Amino acid sequence: MSDETRPHRTAVVIPAAGRGVRLGPGAPKALRMLSGTPILVHAVRAMAASRAVSLVVVVAPPDGAPEVKRLLDEHSLPERTDYLVVPGGESRQESVRLGLEALPEGIDTVLVHDAARPLVPVDTVDSVVAAVREGAVAVVPALPLADTVKEVAPSPGGGPERVVATPERARLRAVQTPQGFAHATLARAHREVAGAVTDDAGMVEALGLDVVVVPGHEEAFKVTRPLDLVLAEAVLARRRAHDGF
């Protein structure tokens, strides 16, 4: 097929190889239950709900790939969605790189979505994809902050930290996932950018390229600490009440 007629192909890489230390002792976070279903399965379904997504690459805990594959085989996904499972690495950044390396030829747009954000609404996914398809090389969903943020530093003589600055809150955003990228740009960022970053868009920023912001969603929060599980259960209960089942 020529470039003009070839369908646009979008894949999502889902890093799910973290331990979930901040959630407390137990199974790796992505395999813990939310309303009787593993967090990872919620996240995969949330991404597969977008008609744009044709391939899901799940990056599993290093020795957990067979279990993740079994879980995905057991829980139904839309027929249009293929999936692959690959073992992850020591850091989120390494896990994403391993997921990118597993992508087949012909993928134009890549989304990277934390397994730990199981409840992202499909409209948020679609608006990230749309912004990439409109020409952005990198897109992040983001929300304004509710709290004032301080920059702090250790006290020279020990003791409590000291505030060194108060950034202007109106200019700050809390960034979520899925983050969306032109495939070639994200692959280049993962090849060329050295040093640890906490999100993929940060690597594209390090290349000096533009990152576009679209509205995030409060239900796309990251399950990080025990209270987040309580909130996630409440969101699911509210959805069930709204859908009438």
Ligand X SMILES: Nc1ccn([C@@H]2O[C@H](COP(=O)(O)OP(=O)(O)OP(=O)(O)O)[C@@H](O)[C@H]2O)c(=O)n1
Which positions lie near ligand LQXTBERG, rule CB under 6 A? 92, 114, 175-177, 198-199, 222
CB of 77 to ligand X, least distance (A): 18
- Amino acid identity of 242? H
The 3-class SS string of the chain reads CCCCCCCCCEEEEEECCCCCHHHCCCCCHHHCEECCEEHHHHHHHHHHCCCCEEEEEEEECCCCHHHHHHHHHHCCCCCCCEEEEEECCCCHHHHHHHHHHCCCCCCCEEEECCCCCCCCCHHHHHHHHHHHHCCCCEEEEEEECCCCCCEEECCCCCCCCEEEECCCHHHCEEECCCEEEEHHHHHHHHHHCCCCCCCHHHHHHHCCCCCEEEECCHHHCCCCCHHHHHHHHHHHHHHHHHHCC
Q: Which of 222, 231, 235, 239 binds ligand X (CB under 6 A)?
A: 222
Q: Does 95 bind ligand X (CB under 6 A)?
A: yes
Q: Does 173 bind ligand X (CB under 6 A)?
A: no
CB of 237 to ligand X, least distance (A): 23
Looking at the Cβ atoms of 69 and 173, the one nearer to ligand LQXTBERG is: 173
Q: Which does 20 bind (CB under 5 to 8 A by kind): ligand X, ligand LQXTBERG, none?
A: ligand X
- x/- mask, ligand X, residues 45-84, rule CB under 6 A, reads --------------x-------------------------
CB of 144 to ligand X, least distance (A): 21
Q: Which does 177 bind (CB under 5 to 8 A by kind): ligand LQXTBERG, ligand X, none?
A: ligand LQXTBERG
How many residues in the shown chain lie near ligand X by CB under 6 A? 22
Contact set for ligand X, span 14-33 (CB under 6 A) = 15-22, 29-30
Q: Does 200 bind ligand X (CB under 6 A)?
A: no
